[in-house]
Amino acid sequence: MDEISLGPGQYGSGAAAIAYDPALPRYVRITDIGPQGGLNAGTLASIHWGEAKPHMLNEGDLCFARSGATVGKTYLYDNVDGPCAHAGYVIRFAIDESVALPQYVKYWTQSEGYWRWVNNTFRQGAQPNINALEYGRHQLPLPPLAEQRRIAEILDAIDSQISAIGLDLVKQRSLRIAALRYAMGDGLELIASVETSRFREIEGISRGEWSAVRLGTLLSRIEAGHSPDLEDRPAGHGEWGVLKVSAVGRDGFRSAENKVAPDGKMHHEALCVRVGDLIMTRANTADLVGLSCVIEDTPSNLMLCDKTLRLIVDKKKASVAFVNLVLEMHELRTQIQIAATGTSASMKNIGQSSIRNLVVPFSDLVNLGRVCGLDVAYRESFEKQQAELRNLRALKQGLMEDLLSGRVRV
Q: Which of 379, 63, 76 is nearest to 251 (CA)?
A: 379
**pLDDT at residue number 122:** 82
Instruction: Identify the band that residue 230 occupies on the pLDDT scale cut at 50, 70 and 90.
Output: confident
What digits encode the pLDDT tens for the residues 294-336? 999 888 899 999 999 999 999 999 999 999 999 999 999 999 9
The runs of H, that is alpha helices, within 285-364 are 320-327, 330-339, 352-356
Q: Which helix (H) or strand (E) holds 258?
A: strand 258-260
Q: What is the pTM of this model?
A: 0.76
Q: Give the mean pLDDT of the chain.
A: 92
At 128 the pLDDT is 79
Question: How far apart are the C-alpha atoms of 316 and 330, rounded to whole Å?
Answer: 26
Contact 65, 90 (CB under 8 A): yes
Residue 228 binned pLDDT confidence (cut-offs 50, 70, 90): confident
Residues counted in the chain: 410
The answer to whether residue 197 scores a pLDDT higher than 60 is: no
In a 13 Å sphere around the CA of 127, the CA atoms on its Cβ side amount to: 13
Domains and CATH numbers, the chain: 2-141 (3.90.220.20), 173-363 (3.90.220.20)
- pLDDT for 191: 86
- Evaluate whether 324 touches 147 at the Cβ level (below 8 Å): no
Phi, psi of 114 (to 5 degrees): -65, -45
According to the model, what pLDDT value does residue 125 have?
Answer: 59
Find the radius of gyration of the CA atoms of the chain: 25
Higher-pLDDT residue of 236, 139: 139
Secondary structure (3-state) at 39: strand
Among the listed residues 311, 258, 308, the one whose alpha carbon sits nearest the alpha carbon of residue 283: 308
Task: Give me the pLDDT at residue 183, please.
Answer: 96
Q: Give 124's pLDDT tier (boundaries 50, 70, 90).
A: low
Average pLDDT of the segment spanning 57-80 = 93
pLDDT computed for residue 344 by the predictor: 75
Contact 308, 340 (CB under 8 A): no
Residue 345 has pLDDT above 70, yes or no: no
Contacts of 401 (CB under 8 A, 6+ apart): 111, 112, 113, 407
pLDDT for 360: 94
- For the segment 2-22, the average pLDDT, to the nearest whole number, is 95
Provide the pLDDT for residue 126.
Answer: 54
- In angstroms, the CA 245 to CA 258 distance is 9
281, pLDDT greater than 70: yes
Residue 201, pLDDT > 70, answer: no
Task: Report the SS3 class of residue 358.
Answer: coil
**pLDDT tens-digit readout, 364-410:** 999 999 999 999 999 999 999 999 999 999 999 999 999 999 899 99
Res. 69: pLDDT tops 80: no
Cβ neighbors of 370 (< 8 A, separation 6 or more) are 183
Q: Looking at the predicted structure, is the pLDDT value of residue 194 above 80?
A: no
Position 237 scores a pLDDT of 85
Q: How confident is the model at residue 195 (pLDDT cuts 50, 70, 90)?
A: low
Average pLDDT over residues 221-237: 88
Does residue 287 carry a pLDDT above 90? no
Higher-confidence residue of 284 and 201: namely 284
Residue 196 has pLDDT above 70, yes or no: no
